[in-house]
Structure 1
Amino acid sequence: MRTSGLSRRGFLASAGGWGAGAVLAMTAGGMSAETQRVRLSTPHAEKLGWRLSCGLYTFRDRSFYEALEVIGALGIRRVEPAFFLPLSKEQPDLRTSESLTPAQRREMKKRLDDRGMQMTSYYAPLEADTTAFRKVFDFAKEMGVETLVAEPPAEVFDTLDELCREYEIGLAVHNHPQSPQSRYWRPENVLKVCEGRSRFIGACPDTGHWVRSGLDPVECLRKLSGRILAVHLKDAAELGNRESRDVPLGEGDANFAQVLQTLRDLGFRGLATIEYEHLSPRLVEDVAQCAKFVEDFAASADA
C-alpha cells in the first residue's frame, strides 16, 4: 500500500513543544550546544508496547554524538549503535563498540543519560571467534543494552545462548537481502538457529530487506511469530530488487500498514527500530515521516 507523503510542516506541527523547534533549528544550520532532554513524539506507539528506536546506521554520515542531537530532536529516545560507526567528530577513529576505554564508555553513557536516551540495542560483531563474545556482552551490560542484533554463524549459537541466559540479554538475528553472504534472508533460516534454544534467542526482522529479497513481509512476520525480539522498520521502493532504495514507511512495496497491523495481531511488544539507508538532503525529514507513520497507525489503533 502507498500513502501520500507527509509534509515536513505537518510532522513538526504534530511534534509539539520544544521538539519541533529543535528540528527547525537543526535543519536551519545546527543545534544549540545546550543539552535538551528528549520529549517523546510517539506516545501512542508506546501504549501499544512499541518502543521506538533509531538505528545509527541511518545517520552514518555523522558521528554518534552528532546523530544523538538529530534523533533526540525527532522525539526518539532509544538508539541502536553499530560496532563499526564513529563515536565522535573530534576522534573519528573511535568506534561505538566494546573497543572503547572505560572512560570513553562512561562519557558515551553520560551523553545518553543527559538527554534521557538509552542504548537499548546494539548491532554487534558476533562472528566465528567465540573468545571475543564475553567482551561484547560486558560492554552491552554496562551500556544498558537489552538486545544484541547480529548475524552469527550457526555453529556459535550454543555459546551465545549460554551467554544470553547468563547476562539476560537477548540476541536478535538480523536479515540482509538475499545473497551468497546473507545467512538469514529467509525466515526459515532464522527459525532453524532458534530451534531448541532459550527465549533470549530470536529474530530482528528487517522488513525492507525482505522486500528487496522478493519476500512478503507480512507472511514472513507470521512465520516468526513468538520469536520476534525486535524489528527494523524499513520500506523499500521495489519488491524483488536487491538494489532498491529505502523510502518512507508506507510509500514502498512492504504494505506497511499491514506490517504494523500484523505486529499488533502477533502481540509484539518491544523495540521497533527505524533504520533508513538512503542518504539524501531529505534524510531527517524522511526519518521524521517514518516515525509519524508509526505514531499515526498506533493512534488509530488506540482510538
Structure 2
Amino acid sequence: MKHVSLYLQLTLIILLSFGVTANGYTRNKTTEIASDFDKIGWKVGIQSYTFTRYSLFDAIDAAADLGLKYVEATIWQTIERGKEERFNPWQISEETKQKIKNKCKEKGVTLTSFYCRPSKEDAENGQTEKLFQFCKEWKMALTTDPVRIASGPGSMDFYDKLCQKYGVYMFLTNHPKAHGSPYWNPEDVLADCKDRSKYIGASVDVGHFMRDGTNVYEVVKRYTDAGRMYHFHFRDVDRCDKNGKDVTLGEGAAQIKELLTYLNRKGATPIIVFEYERDQDEPLKYITPGVVYLRQLSKELLKNKQADNNNKPIKLWARNASTKGGLNICDKDKDTLATIHGWNNTEQQISWKTFLKKGNYTVCLKYSEPYQGSAITVTAGQQQFATLIQPTAGWNEYHEKNLGVIRVPTTGETNISLQGIQLSLVKDEKGKLVHKEALPDIQYLSLIPTKEKSVSSPINILQEFKGKPIFNGKTFKGWTGNNGKESMKWFRIEEDAIIGGNTEMEIPQNEFLRSDREYGNFELRLKFKINCADDSYNAGIQFRSQPQTEKGKEHEMIGYQADIISWKKGALYDEQRRWDFLGNPLAKNPTYNAREWNSYIIRCEGPRVRIWLNGIQTLDYFEPFVDTPHPDVQIGRIPQIGYIALQIHEGKACEALYKDITIEEL
C-alpha cells in the first residue's frame, strides 16, 4: 500500500475493521487512529449525545476503539444498555458512579465535561451547587446554556462564584436561535465572559451556529482573541443556513482546517468533542472518518509548526520605533515596558526597520484599546494589509493579538510601518456612533515566519487594474431605473455619457440608475462631472446597495455612496442606513473642478473600502459591523454585496454626468 495516501490507507483499515454489535450500530474494532493528538495538544473526544439511541458506555467504547481519550457526558442519558439508570448528578447511586469510573479506567477514557442546563429554581434551592460538587468530584467541566439572569441565583456572577469555589470550568454553549437559546448570539457569550474569572469560557457548537447562518470561523477567532475559546461540539455542515446538514469533517462549509490552524497558531487547545445528530442509528458514520481527517491535519500542523520553530519571532519594541505626527513613547527607559501613546489621527505613523528573509510572516501586535471600530494598515516594504482592532478590557489591559499574514517578497532590510486609517467609535451629541475616539497604545509588534497564505497586497495595487466596461456608451443595457420607468425619466445618454437630472427643472426626489446585477468584491472606475448653476450640487455612486422597499420610498437606495458633493469631496456616505459619513478622511478636502471630468476609483475587498478622487486616496474604511451587528437592531450587520447605482439628488435643477464605467471583480 506504499503508493496509497495515508488518509486512504487509514480509511481502508477502518472499513476493514468494522464489526457489528449484537444489537445496534456498526462499531470499529480497536484502531487507535487518534494516537497523535497529544503531540499537538488536542483533547479530542465524543459527546455522548451522539449515542443517544444507545448509551454512555457505548460512547466510551467507541472513543477507546478510535484511540480517543475523552467523552463528554449528557444529562439523563442511559448509562448502560438494558439498564434503567441514567446519568443524573442528583440521583446517581454510589454503585453506579463506581461502575462508570471502572469503565473509564478500563478503556483509558476520561469524562472531561458534562452537558446540563440548570434552572433558576435549581440555583435557588441548592441543586446547582450540588451539580458543581458533582463536577468537582469527577474533575469535569460543565457545558451549559442557562437562562441569562441579571442578578441573584442563576446569574453569571452566581455561577462564577461557584466556579471559583469548586475549581470547575463552565463552557457557555449555543443552541438554535429558533429554540430560544440564551447564547445563540456570540456577543452574549463574550459579554458574560467579560470581567469574569478564568473559569468562564465559550463553547462553540459548530452545527447550531451554522444553521443559524453564523460564520463559525469568525466566532472562533473572536472567542480565541478574547482568551475564552474553551470547548467545541464538533462537526461539519454542508451549508451555512437553516437547511445545513451534517457531513464529515472537511467536506462542508465550516472551514474546519482554517479554524484549527488558527487555534494551533494561537496556542489555544480547546476540548473538541464530536457531536452528530444525523443518522444516530449509526453514530460512527461521520465520527470515524472525522478522526482520520483530524489525525492527518494534526500531522500537517505539527510539521508546519516544527518548521516555524526553526525561525524565532522577531519582536519590534515600542522603545525602538520611529514615530511621526506627535506620538509619544512613554517609559522609554523601562525597556520592554515602554509604550507608544497618543495615537489619535490618521496622519501619525509608527515604523521600524529590520532585516527579514523573503517569505510570509504572521503579524502580532501587543496593544491596548478599550473602544471598538479603530482600524490600521500594516506595511512591510511594498506589501500592505488593513485590519480592524479588536477592543481590550481597558487602556491598562495589553493583549497580543494576531493581525494577519504579510508577504515579504525580497530578503534584506525592510521598513515595517503602522498607519491609522480610522479612529475608534464613540457616540456624538446626537447619539450616533462616529469615528472620533483614538487608536491603540502599542507595546510591541512581532513577526513570526509562517507558511500560511498572505492576506497582503502590493501598495501600488491600482496599477494592476484589469477592468471591463459595464456601460457601452450607447444604451442602458445592464442598467435599470431603481423605481422602474419613473426613475428612467430622469436619465438619458448623450455623447457616451449617462446624464442624470435636468438643468431646466427641479428634481422632486432622489433618483438612481442601478446595475442589473450585484457585486461584492471589486474595483470600480468611472468619470463624472456636474452641470449646475452654482456649487450646491449633490450626486454620488452607490455600491453594495439595495433598493429601498419601504412604501413611498421605492425610488431610494440603501447602502454605501461615494459622494459627489461640493463640501465633502471623496467621502463615503451611508445612504438611508446610518445617514452619516463613514470613516476618517485621508486627504483634506481635495480640490477639483466639478464642471470638468473627474475620476473616481472605488475598491471593495471584504470589509475594506477605499476611494480615490483624481488619483488621490481620500478614504480607507474598514467596516466594523460585518460579523458583529450594529448596536441599532434596525441596521444589524452590513452586507458586503449589492448593486452599483448612479444618483442625481433631489433639489435644484442640476445634471450629473457619468462615463467610462469599468469594473474588475476581485
TM-score, reference length from structure 2: 0.40
- The CA RMSD measured in Å over matched residues stands at 2.5
Match of 2:97 in 1: 105
The residue correspondences of 1:108-119 to structure 2 (distance < 5 A) are: 108-119=100-111
The reply on whether 1:153 has 2:154 as its aligned counterpart is no
1:41 pairs with one of 19, 33, 40: 33
The residue correspondences of 1:68-217 to structure 2 (distance < 5 A) are: 68-92=60-84, 94-98=85-89, 99-128=91-120, 129-130=122-123, 131-145=126-140, 147-155=141-149, 156-179=155-178, 181-217=180-216
Match of 1:293 in 2: 293
What are the superposed Cα offsets for residues 174-224 of structure 1, whole Å, 9 maximum, x if unpaired?
A: 011222511111211101111211000010111222211111111111111
The reply on whether 1:65 has 2:60 as its aligned counterpart is no
- The separation in 1 between residues aligned to 2:192 and 2:116, in whole angstroms, is 17
What are the superposed Cα offsets for residues 205-255 of structure 1, whole Å, 9 maximum, x if unpaired?
A: 1122221111111111111121011122221122111x4321111111112
**Contact 2:52/2:77, CA 8 A, preserved across alignment:** yes
Q: CA deviation at 1:285?
A: 3.3
SS in 2 for 1:204: strand
Q: CA deviation at 1:12?
A: 5.5
- The separation in 1 between residues aligned to 2:248 and 2:38, in whole angstroms, is 20
**AA aligned opposite 1:103:** E
- The separation in 1 between residues aligned to 2:228 and 2:207, in whole angstroms, is 19
Q: CA deviation at 1:26?
A: 4.2
**Contact 1:46/1:52, CA 8 A, preserved across alignment:** no
Match of 2:400 in 1: none
- The separation in 1 between residues aligned to 2:57 and 2:282, in whole angstroms, is 20
Q: CA deviation at 1:282?
A: 4.8
Moved more, 264-273 or 290-299: 264-273
What are the superposed Cα offsets for residues 57-78 of structure 1, whole Å, 9 maximum, x if unpaired?
A: 1111101123322222122121
**Contact 2:53/2:280, CA 8 A, preserved across alignment:** no
Match of 2:223 in 1: 224
Q: Give the structure with higher Rg (CA).
A: 2
**Contact 2:51/2:280, CA 8 A, preserved across alignment:** no
- The separation in 1 between residues aligned to 2:280 and 2:107, in whole angstroms, is 26
**AA aligned opposite 1:73:** D
**Contact 1:274/1:291, CA 8 A, preserved across alignment:** no
- The separation in 2 between residues aligned to 1:8 and 1:106, in whole angstroms, is 40
What are the superposed Cα offsets for residues 252-303 of structure 1, whole Å, 9 maximum, x if unpaired?
A: 1112111211222332113111111112565323211111111111100112
Change (3 A) 1:254 1:143: same
**AA aligned opposite 2:143:** V
**AA aligned opposite 2:215:** D
SS in 1 for 2:119: coil
Match of 2:251 in 1: 251
Structure 2 unpaired stretches of 5+: 1-5, 150-154, 304-666
Higher fraction of strand: 2
**Contact 2:52/2:280, CA 8 A, preserved across alignment:** no
Match of 2:18 in 1: 24
**AA aligned opposite 2:187:** E
What are the superposed Cα offsets for residues 28-71 of structure 1, whole Å, 9 maximum, x if unpaired?
A: 9789xxxx9x7743233321211111100111110112332222
**AA aligned opposite 2:40:** L
Bigger relative contact order (CA 8 A; separation at least 6) = 1
Moved more, 103-112 or 174-183: 174-183
SS in 2 for 1:43: coil
**Contact 1:175/1:204, CA 8 A, preserved across alignment:** yes
Higher fraction of helix: 1
**AA aligned opposite 1:137:** F
- Give the percent of matched residue pairs that are identical in Structure 1 and Structure 2: 26
Match of 1:235 in 2: 236
TM-score, reference length from structure 1: 0.85
Q: CA deviation at 1:116?
A: 1.1
- The separation in 2 between residues aligned to 1:179 and 1:141, in whole angstroms, is 33
Change (3 A) 1:286 1:68: same
What are the superposed Cα offsets for residues 143-184 of structure 1, whole Å, 9 maximum, x if unpaired?
A: 231x21000122221121111111111000001122251111
Q: CA deviation at 1:126?
A: 2.1
What are the superposed Cα offsets for residues 76-95 of structure 1, whole Å, 9 maximum, x if unpaired?
A: 12100100211122223x22
Match of 1:3 in 2: none
- The separation in 2 between residues aligned to 1:235 and 1:162, in whole angstroms, is 35
- The separation in 2 between residues aligned to 1:10 and 1:113, in whole angstroms, is 27
The reply on whether 1:276 has 2:268 as its aligned counterpart is no
Aligned length: 284
**Contact 1:127/1:151, CA 8 A, preserved across alignment:** no
- The separation in 1 between residues aligned to 2:115 and 2:282, in whole angstroms, is 25
- The separation in 1 between residues aligned to 2:229 and 2:239, in whole angstroms, is 25
Change (3 A) 1:42 1:10: closer
Structure 1 unpaired stretches of 5+: 1-5
**AA aligned opposite 2:232:** V
